[in-house]
Amino acid sequence: MVACVALASACITSHSEQRDSVATTSVDVAASVPVAAAAPVAVSSVAAPPPEPQRLNSTPPRAQPRPDPVQRVLDAARADLGKRGGAEGVDCSTYVRSAYRVAGIDLYAAASPRDNGVQAIHRYVRKHGRLFRTRHAAKGDLVFFDNSYDRNHNRLLDDPLTHVGIIEDVLPDGTALVLHATNHGVVREPMNLRRPHAITDARGQPINAALRRRTAFDSPRTPHLMSELFAGFGRVLGANRDLARPVARRSIRPIRPG
């Protein structure tokens, strides 16, 4: 029994010594292996090329097209549609002048001290544009009217240049759409010089709006439609375009409205 215990102790001691020996041997082997030196990194003596300069675009930027002055005038005129007119709102000449000022044109610039607004605009067109009475107006043209009201209160049709508007468009049937300030506001209304006494066409579409208010002194033959009171067109924008026949203003002789 004592021998067995001693043998077991010897086996335990032997295994422990073997483990210690193996560990010591591993450390010695690892210590004896030479460590490879780190390889030096070669540094080039040639300088890196400088960064390529950014190329500038030699093509100049394309210039933006300038807005069409006619379109600018019409946009400004349309923006005021529906506003109040008459004595408590905007009058016809102030309305037209404001629209043209958007295009850099002051239609009052040639005014005489005795001119009213419509006369001042007519004077400017006569000096800087073209006056004409052809039936072929263009967008942005001015349109003048006589006798839209009895300015001198003498009950005669002898009041020249009492109203002005702007041609917005001309329809295929010749009806011009006029933007103007009236007693019932800033509106768009038709005028057809081909049928000056007709209010509507065969389909019932309006082609001539009333401009002069009827009074107790008017007869059924007193003119009141826009085409009946038409006095002429004026062109400032693109005035160098060919016109069929520029003419002077027609003379206004006193006529009794009867």
| Boundaries of every domain in the chain | 69-235
The pTM of this model reads: 0.71
- Give the fold, CATH level 3, of 69-235: endopeptidase fold (from Nostoc punctiforme) (3.90.1720)
The pLDDT of residue 201: 96
Cβ-count burial of 115 within 10 angstroms (0-12 exposed, 13-18 middle, 19+ buried)? middle
Cβ atoms of 103 and 73 closer than 8 Å:
yes
Cα separation, 86 vs 184, in Å, equals 7
The CA-based diameter of the chain, rounded to the nearest angstrom, is: 162
Tell me the pLDDT band of 16, cut-offs 50, 70 and 90.
very low
pLDDT at residue 43 greater than cutoff 60:
no
3-class SS at 29?
helix
**pLDDT tens sequence across 161-211:** 999 999 999 999 999 999 999 999 999 999 999 999 999 999 999 999 999
Residue 98 has a CB neighbour count (10 Å cut-off) of 17
Give pLDDT, residue 241: 58
Q: Comparing C-alpha atoms, which of 233, 231, 237, 236 is closest to residue 250?
A: 231
